[in-house]
Structure 1
Amino acid sequence: MNSYAVNNGHAFPLGASVTDNGVNFAVVSEDATKLMLCLFDEQDNEVERLPFVAKQRGIWHMEVLGLTENQRYGLRAKGPFEPNHQRLFNEYKLLIDPYAKALTSKLVWHADQAAINEQGEAHLVDSAYCVPKSIVKTVRPTPNRPKRTKVLPSQRVLYELHVKGFSQQLPIDDALKGTYLGVISEPGIAHLTELGITTIQLMPCFSFANERHLQELKLKNYWGYNPISFFAVETSYAQQDAIVEFQQMVDGLRNAGFEVILDVVYNHTAESELNQSSVCYRGLDNAHYYRHAEGEYLNYTGCGNCFDTYHPASIRLICDSMRYWVEVMGVDGFRFDLGVDLGRTEHQFTPRAPLLQAILQDPILSNTCLVMEPWDIGPDGYQVGQFPRGFLECNDQYRDTVRRFWRGDEGVTPIFATRLMGSRDYFHKGRRSALHSVNYITYHDGYTLNDLVSYHRRHNLANMENNRDGHGDNISQNFGHEGPTDNLEIQAQRLNQQLCFIATLLLSQGTPHLLGGDELSHSQQGNNNAYCQDNEITWLSWQQSEARKALQTTISSLMKIRKAYPILAEVYLEDDPLYQHVEPDHIEWLNQLSQPMSELDWAESERDYLALTLTSADLSNRLWLVFYRDDQLLHVPLPSNAGKIDVLYQTPGLHIEDKQLICDYRGVLLAKLT
Structure 2
Amino acid sequence: MRDSKSARGAIVFETGVEFAVWSHHAAQIDLCLFEHDGNKELARLPMTRDGNHIHRLFVDGVRQGARYGYRADGIYAPDNGLWFDPSKLLIDPYAKEIDRPFRYDPRLGIYGEDSQDLMPKAIVTTDTRAAVAKPLFKPGGFIYEVAVRPFTILHPDVPEAERGTVAALAHPSVIAHLKRIGVDAVELMPITAWIDERHLPPLGLTNGWGYNPVGLMALDPRIVPGGMAELRKTVATLHAEGIAVILDLVFNHTGESDRYGATLSLRGLDNLHYYRHAQNSPGELVNDTGTGNTIACDHPDVRRLVIDSLRNFVLYAGVDGFRFDLAPVLGRTESGFERDGGTLAAILADDVLADRIMIAEPWDIGPGGYQLGNFPPPFLEWNDRVRDDLRCYWRGDQWKTGSLATALAGSSDIFSRNDGKETRSVNFLAAHDGFTLIDLVSYAGKHNEANGEHNRDGHNENHSWNNGVEGETHFPTIRKRRINDVMALISTLFATRGSIMLTAGDEGGRSQRGNNNAYCQDNEITWLDWKTLNEDLIAHTAFVAGLRRRFTVFSEKGFLSGNGDVEWISLSGEPMTIAEWETPLLSTLGMLLATGDRSLRGKKTRLAVLFNRSESRQLFTLPSENELGWRQLTSEGEKKAGTSVTIEPRSVAFFAEK
Query: Do both proteins adopt the same fold according to a TM-score greater than 0.5, normalized to the shorter chain?
Result: yes
Match of 2:594 among 615, 620, 629: 615
Task: Give deviations 1:594-629, integer Å, cap 9, x for gaps.
Answer: 111111111111111111212249982222221111
Contact 1:519 1:552 (C-alpha < 8 Å) held by counterparts: yes
- Aligned letter for 1:216? P
Cα distance change of structure 1 residues 213 and 367 upon mapping to structure 2, 3 Å threshold: same
Task: Name the SS for the 1:474 alignment partner.
Answer: coil
Q: In the TM superposition, what are the counterparts of 1:489-504 in structure 2 within 5 Å?
A: 489-504=477-492
Any conservation in 1 of the 2:631–2:641 contact (CA below 8 Å)? Answer: no
> 2:328 matched to which residue of 1?
340
Among 212, 218, 224, the alignment partner of 2:198 is 212
Counterparts of 1:333-482 in structure 2 under 5 Å? 333-428=321-416, 431-432=419-420, 434-482=422-470
Q: Find the partner of 2:214 among 210, 228, 244.
A: 228
Map 1:646-661 onto structure 2 (within 5 A): 646-649=630-633, 659-661=643-645
Q: Deviations over 1:335-372 (max 9, x none)?
A: 10000111111251110230000001112112111111
Work out whether residues 132 and 318 of structure 2, in 8 Å CA contact, stay in contact via their aligned partners in 1: no
C-alpha offsets along residues 459-487 of structure 1, whole Å, 9 cap, x if unaligned? 11111111111111111111101112221
**Number of the residue aligned with 2:317:** 329
Amino acid of the structure 1 residue aligned with 2:583: E
Pick from 578, 582, 586 the counterpart of residue 603 of structure 1. 582
Following the alignment from structure 1 to structure 2, what is the Cα–Cα distance between the partners of residues 484 and 606? 29
Give the CA deviation at 1:56.
Answer: 1.7
Does 2:600 correspond to 1:631? no
Question: Does 2:232 align with 1:278?
Answer: no
- Indicate the SS of the match to 2:312: helix
> What's the CA shift for 1:20?
2.5
* 8 Å Cα contact 2:276/2:295 also seen in 1: yes
CA distance 1:204–1:573, change in 2 (3 Å): closer
**Structure 1 letter corresponding to 2:54:** I
- 432-441 or 495-504, larger mean C-alpha shift: 432-441
- Aligned residue identity for 1:257: G
Match of 1:4 in 2: none
Alignment check: 8 A CA contact 1:160 1:513 kept: yes
**C-alpha deviation, 1:148, in angstroms:** 5.4
- Specify the alignment match of 1:80 in structure 2: 75
1:418-475 deviation digits (Å, cap 9, x = unpaired):
1111111101178335541000001011111111111111111111111111111111
Instruction: Please point out which of 625, 635, 641 is paired with 2:625.
Output: 641
Say which of 163, 171, 179 aligns to 1:177.
Answer: 163
Relative distance call for 1:66 and 1:447 in structure 2 (3 A) is same
Which residue in 2 is equivalent to 1:89?
Answer: 84
| Residue 27 (structure 2) aligns with | 33
1:141 matched residue in structure 2: 129
**Secondary structure in 1 matching 2:306:** helix
Residues 643 and 549 (structure 1 numbering): CA distance in 2 closer, same or farther, change over 3 Å?
farther
Deviates more, 1:145-154 or 1:249-258: 145-154
Q: CA RMSD in A?
A: 2.3
Tell me whether 50-59 or 359-368 shows the greater mean CA deviation.
Answer: 50-59
TM-score calculated relative to the size of structure 1: 0.92
- Using the TM superposition, give the Cα deviation of residue 377 of structure 1 relative to its aligned residue in structure 2, in angstroms: 0.6
Q: Match for residue 107 of structure 2?
A: 112
Q: How does 1:287-326 map to 2 (within 5 A)?
A: 287-293=272-278, 294=281, 295-326=283-314
Determine if contact 1:171/1:187 at 8 Å carries over to the other structure: no
Cα distance in 2 for partners of 1:432, 1:567 equals 19
Alpha-carbon deviation of 1:664?
A: 3.7
In the aligned structure 2, how far is the partner of 1:64 from the partner of 1:55? Answer: 17
Counterpart of 1:74, as a letter, is: G
Letter in 2 for 1:336: F
Contact residue 272 and residue 305 of structure 1 kept, 8 A = yes
- Rounded to whole Å, the distance in 2 between the matches of 1:636 and 1:321 is 54
* In structure 2, distance between residues paired with 1:658 and 1:320: 58
Seen in structure 2, the aligned counterparts of structure 1 residues 370 and 550 have a Cα distance that, compared at 3 Å, is same
SS at match of 1:129: helix
The TM-score normalised by the length of structure 2 is: 0.94
The secondary structure found in structure 2 opposite 1:188 is helix
1:574-589 equivalent positions in 2, closer than 5 A:
585-589=564-568
Question: How far apart, CA to CA, are the structure 2 residues paired with 1:320 and 1:476?
Answer: 41
Of the three residues 545, 550, 553, the one matched with 1:564 is: 550
Q: Distance in 2 between matches of 1:626 and 1:165?
A: 36
**SS where residue 45 of structure 2 aligns?**
strand
For 1:657 and 1:568, how far apart are their aligned partners in 2?
23
**Contact 1:396–1:440 (CA under 8 A) maintained in structure 2:** yes
Give the residue type in structure 1 aligned to 2:368: D
Structure 1 counterpart of 2:136: 150
Instruction: Tell me the distance in 2 between the aligned counterparts of 1:356 and 1:159.
Output: 25
Check the 8 A contact 2:92/2:122 in 1, yes or no.
yes
How many percent of aligned residue pairs carry the same amino acid? 38
CA 1:331–1:543: 2 relative to 1, 3 Å = same
Once the two structures are TM-superposed, the CA of residue 310 in structure 1 deviates from its matched residue by 0.7
Q: Identify the residue that residue 120 of structure 1 maps to in structure 2.
A: none
- Count the aligned residue pairs: 645
Pairwise CA distance, 1:62: 2.4
In the alignment, does 2:234 pair up with 1:246? no
Paired with 2:147 and 2:582, the residues of 1 have a C-alpha distance of: 43
Residue 590 of structure 1 pairs with residue 557 of structure 2? no
Deviates more, 1:79-88 or 1:503-512: 79-88
Give the conservation status (yes or no) of the 8 Å contact 1:647–1:669: no
